Amino acid sequence: MKKGTVVVNAKALFHLLPDLIPPIDRRYTIRFFRSPPKAWKDKNGKLRNESLPQNKSEQFVLFHETCLRMKRLADRLNPRLFEAARRDNDVSAPKALDNAIVNYVRMIGKAAAD
């Protein structure tokens, strides 16, 4: 089984159901939910590689948990933020949240490099 199955399938599902399923990647989304920012970098200040489960059932659990965590995070945010993202960037709420996570991880990474 390929290591990135959870990522590939999540992105495919996102394209089919953009208002329901968030895009998930290991560089940003999985990293964000799996560990605190202090653990994201290696000793050289570069983002560590995020490993994925090897078997299908563990990858499904990871997909399920990540979706639930994104939903819980979205529920804590002001809905107007999603409305603004939809209007300004023409994206779904799950993609708006994904964009915020990507930007956060990038900002943390850049701050650590400075």
SS3 per-residue string spanning 28-97: HHHHHHHCCHHHCECCCCCECCCCCCCCHHHHHHHHHHHHHHHHHHHHHCCHHHHHHHHHHHCCCHHHHH
Q: Which helix (H) or strand (E) holds 25?
A: none
107/32 Cα distance (integer angstroms)? 12
pLDDT surpassing 90 at residue 3: no
Mean pLDDT along residues 82-99:
88
pLDDT in tens, 29-82: 999 999 999 888 888 888 888 888 888 899 999 999 999 999 999 999 888 887
pTM (2 decimals)?
Answer: 0.85
* Tokens of residue 45, six digits: 């200040």
The confidence band for 110, taking pLDDT boundaries of 50, 70 and 90, is: confident
